[in-house]
Amino acid sequence: MPRLPLLTALAVALATAAALTAADGTARASGPARPERRASPTPIATADQATRSVHVLKASQRTWDTGDPRGGGVLWSWSADGLEELADLNPASSWKNPSEAKLRTLDGRRYLLATASGGLAAVVGYPGREIYWAADTGTGNAHSIDLLPDGNVAVAASTGGYVRVYAASTGKRATWHTEVPLPGAHGVHWDPGTGLLWALGGRELLALRVGGPPDDPELTVAHRTALPTRNGHDLAPVLGHRGRLWVTTGSAVYQYATARHGFVDYPLRSRISAPGVKSVGDDPATGQILVARPETGHPCPWCTSVLTLYQPDGTRRLLHGAMYKARWWTSRRD
């Protein structure tokens, strides 16, 4: 019997395998289909005024307990209370009512950025807790903070009505700063895409240009946008849509397109947009949206023990918590 050419033999073998598969409906070689893997949610960081701490929490856990070191879902915590290194800033008063918690990266290192209504602003190494920079900004109600590429630090203060850039790159207690007035300043965000520092006030959103050398920074207003409604509160990047910012006011939640200098529609707006939202953000890993808003009946009228999630929907509870803002624990800001 003549030997079949190699290619012909291979074709016959493949055809035979296909026929066997068609006969019984089973692909013997492949085995059962593997389930599709879903991305794990990013941890959640919150400024908790009940414990005067920032907590990083396990996002997949539905209930957190800061009193349970093993099963409470707390991955990491930090507080200025009792730290000798910060004793000169009097945390007993300056660390009153923690108001902000962000994760940022500088020169390959990760940092917690935190502020408190009492005036303390701090940049703290994560996870090692070393202090990069800290200052008592005064009685202006420090409300938000961001870290600039040159190592300086921006702070927004609401009752103080200003946005400052501190020359933090020059030392751990640097207090030299430049300032622009912004009534009701509540949010500040450095955007690498535009190369601008964005700041949210009570009635307008500012795009600020940072100039000058790191030891003598300058701030100028590049653009102003009036808010659709009053009492601007939270400002954060939309991580699922480059070139957009989350903006909350006393009555609604918006998205702002930085290239167009205008507010735009977005999915789920009818569900997410509500009065009193203190913080909002989307998870870069899953796209899930995290919202913190005051809880009816809570002893702290601006706090909550429950966070709301959208797409998929759900809630997360911090037992005995008095959370102000909550953010996905990511250093992304595009």
- What is the model's pLDDT at position 15? 44
Does position 41 have pLDDT exceeding 60, yes or no? Answer: yes
Query: Parallel, antiparallel, or unpaired: how do β-strands 306-310 and 262-264 relate?
Result: unpaired
Does position 319 have pLDDT exceeding 80, yes or no? Answer: yes
| Angle in degrees, CA 64, 68, 61, rounded to 5 | 25
- List, for residues 134-154, the tens digit of each pLDDT value: 999 999 999 999 999 999 999
Does position 195 have pLDDT exceeding 80, yes or no? Answer: yes
Averaged pLDDT, 214-219? 98
Rounded to whole angstroms, the Cα distance separating 63 from 49 reads 18
Domain-embedded: residue 228: yes
- What is the model's pLDDT at position 39? 79
pTM of the model: 0.89
Rounded to whole angstroms, the Cα distance separating 259 from 92 reads 43
Domain span including residue 96: 40-328
Domain-embedded: residue 31: no
Does position 228 have pLDDT exceeding 50, yes or no? Answer: yes
Rounded to whole angstroms, the Cα distance separating 51 from 73 reads 15
Domain-embedded: residue 263: yes
Domain-embedded: residue 259: yes
Domain-embedded: residue 141: yes
Domain-embedded: residue 27: no
Least confident among 26-35, 218-227, 268-277: 26-35
Averaged pLDDT, 87-116? 98
Q: How many helices (H) and strands (E) does the chain have?
A: 3, 25
Averaged pLDDT, 97-120? 98
Does position 331 have pLDDT exceeding 90, yes or no? Answer: yes
Domain-embedded: residue 130: yes
pLDDT averaged over every residue in the chain: 91
Rounded to whole angstroms, the Cα distance separating 172 from 162 reads 22
Query: Parallel, antiparallel, or unpaired: how do β-strands 314-318 and 63-64 relate?
Result: parallel
Report which residue type is found at 329. Answer: W
- What pairs with residue 136 in β-bridges? 120
Residue 156 phi, psi dihedral angles, 5° rounding = -110, 135
| Helix, strand or coil, per DSSP, at residue 12 | helix
Domain-embedded: residue 28: no
Q: Assign 5 a pLDDT band (cuts: 50, 70, 90).
A: very low
| Angle in degrees, CA 289, 290, 296, rounded to 5 | 135
Q: What is the CATH number of the domain that holds 217?
A: 2.130.10.10
Number of domains present in the structure of the chain: 1
Averaged pLDDT, 304-327? 98
Decide which of 87 and 20 is more confident. 87
Query: Is residue 294 packed enough to be buried (19+ CB in 10 Å), middle (13-18) or exposed (0-12)?
Result: middle
- List, for residues 21-37, the tens digit of each pLDDT value: 333 333 333 444 444 45
Percent of the chain with pLDDT over 90: 88
Who's near 138: CB < 8 A, 6+ residues apart?
Answer: 119, 157, 160
Q: Assign 40 a pLDDT band (cuts: 50, 70, 90).
A: confident
Does position 102 have pLDDT exceeding 90, yes or no? Answer: yes
Q: Assign 38 a pLDDT band (cuts: 50, 70, 90).
A: low
